[in-house]
Chains A and B, each alone.
Chain A
Amino acid sequence: SAVISQKPSRDICQRGTSLTIQCQVDSQVTMMFWYRQQPGQSLTLIATANQGSEATYESGFVIDKFPISRPNLTFSTLTVSNMSPEDSSIYLCSVDLGGSGNTIYFGEGSWLTVV
């Protein structure tokens, strides 16, 4: 089965800085998705990343705070900008690898702590 890798797996970040998370899939996919999981919470979708077009953001998330790149069909990045302690979360990317219907897999997650 395809592999979805994320980097970094974990990081401690200073308040006010920005960090870019990478998601690499070993097969081509049309859409990639970025989720946030705040401590003790469930997952919330941040945005959908399509190759060749701007990302589509969910309500409550904006491009200035979470800029996304999607340069090709196997790779995407999510940047968390001007971080505050409230941004301490696990960030996960997901893709649908099912050939005949939804089979949605996740990367290993990037656990960010903002101090």
Chain B
Amino acid sequence: AQTVTQSQPEMSVQEAETVTLSCTYDTSESDYYLFWYKQPPSRQMILVIRQEAYKQQNATENRFSVNFQKAAKSFSLKISDSQLGDAAMYFCALPDQGGSEKLVFGKGTKLTVNP
């Protein structure tokens, strides 16, 4: 079964600084997607970034980028130039098998951004 581990329950960062959130996972699949979602206090789950496992190039979306290490099964999220609006819960997720649309989530990391 797929598992996702986020080892940092809470993180904090100063505004304008950079922070990295960690995620490791376990899967027997060779081709899959990985996701980071942001959940602000409004509780909506917002897709931040996704990575295709067969692509070696790390995905980037504006200030958000990932460090994907397939062999190590690591998928960390880097937030550059942190803004107050980045404060939220961040969840790492993986399909429960291959191209499945069902996701398995980590426990989340609560990010605080200090002014």
Contact = CB atoms under 8 A, between A and B. Distances in A.
A48 B52 CA distance: 23
A48 B96 CA distance: 13
Contacts of A106: 37, 44-47
A102 B47 contact: no
B106 A33 contact: no
A30 to B, nearest CB: 9
Interface string A88-115: 0010101110000111111111010000
Contacts of A42: 91, 105-108
A90 B40 CA distance: 13
Contact of B45 (A31, A92, A111): A92
Contacts of B91: 42-43
Contacts of B43: 37, 90, 108-109, 111
B35, B45, B99: most-surrounded residue (chain A CB, <10 A): B45
A43 B103 contact: yes
Given A43-B45, A101-B52, A108-B42, A33 B102 contact: yes
26 contacts: A33-B102, A42-B91, A42-B105, A42-B108, A43-B45, A43-B91, A44-B105, A45-B102, A48-B102, A90-B43, A94-B101, A94-B103, A96-B101, A101-B33, A102-B33, A102-B35, A103-B47, A103-B50, A104-B101, A104-B103, A106-B37, A106-B44, A106-B46, A108-B42, A108-B43, A111-B43
Interface of B: 33, 35, 37, 42-47, 50, 52, 91, 95-96, 99-103, 105-108
